[in-house]
Every structure is written in structure tokens, then in C-alpha cells.
């Protein structure tokens, strides 16, 4: 019983770290931020995803100088958040 609890805790911790690497936050934090967003409430999830993709474009715009690792990482996480919104709220399977 205790071993199973430890395993579940480790798995939960690993999943949380994976989400933070992928999105910059956990899925629970992202869901809360998305659902509290004015854009989400007034324009819908697809517009919010499009806005995030525009943000990612700005992050990789070379007009602002050379793209370093952190800018590229921020853009990657931003695109992952946009995809998460599309799959979570717009996928009508």
C-alpha cells in the first residue's frame, strides 16, 4: 500500500515536470488561466490559440535580434500551449 502511494507520487511528480517542460506550467495551471481569460470567454478557444501563435511568431521575429535559446524555448512552449487549447477545447471527436 505504501509502495503504491510512493509510486503514484513519483509518477505525478514526473508528469508535472514533463508538463512544465512542455508548456511552462502544469496543465491544471494552464486550464485555470485559459478559462479565466477574457479572450477565451468572449472570442473562444480558437481565437485564444491563434493569439498564442501570434505571440510565438513575435518571439522568433529576427527584427528583435538574434534568437537565443530562451526565446526559442519560450516560442516552443507558447506553440505547445496553443496546440493544447485546440486539442482540449476545439477537437470535436
* Residues of the domain holding 18: 2-90
Q: Where are the beta strands (DSSP E) in the chain?
A: none
Phi, psi values for residue 26, rounded to 5°: -80, 160
24-81 pLDDT, tens digit per residue, is: 999 999 999 999 999 999 999 999 999 999 999 999 988 878 889 999 999 999 999 9
Distance (Å, whole) CA 60 – CA 25? 21
Distance (Å, whole) CA 3 – CA 19? 24
Instruction: Count structural domains, the chain.
Output: 1
DSSP-derived letter for residue 51 is H
Entry pTM: 0.86
Cα dihedral 47, 48, 50, 51 in deg (nearest 10): 120
Is residue 2's pLDDT more than 90? no
Amino acid at each position: 500500500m505504501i509502495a503504491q502511494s510512493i509510486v503514484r507520487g513519483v509518477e505525478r511528480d514526473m508528469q508535472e515536470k514533463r508538463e512544465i517542460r512542455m508548456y511552462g506550467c502544469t496543465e491544471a495551471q494552464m486550464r485555470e488561466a485559459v478559462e479565466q481569460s477574457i479572450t477565451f470567454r468572449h472570442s473562444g478557444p480558437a481565437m485564444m490559440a491563434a493569439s498564442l501563435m501570434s505571440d510565438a511568431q513575435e518571439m522568433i521575429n529576427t527584427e528583435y535580434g538574434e534568437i537565443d535559446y530562451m526565446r526559442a524555448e519560450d516560442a516552443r512552449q507558447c506553440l505547445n500551449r496553443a496546440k493544447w487549447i485546440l486539442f482540449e477545447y476545439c477537437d470535436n471527436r
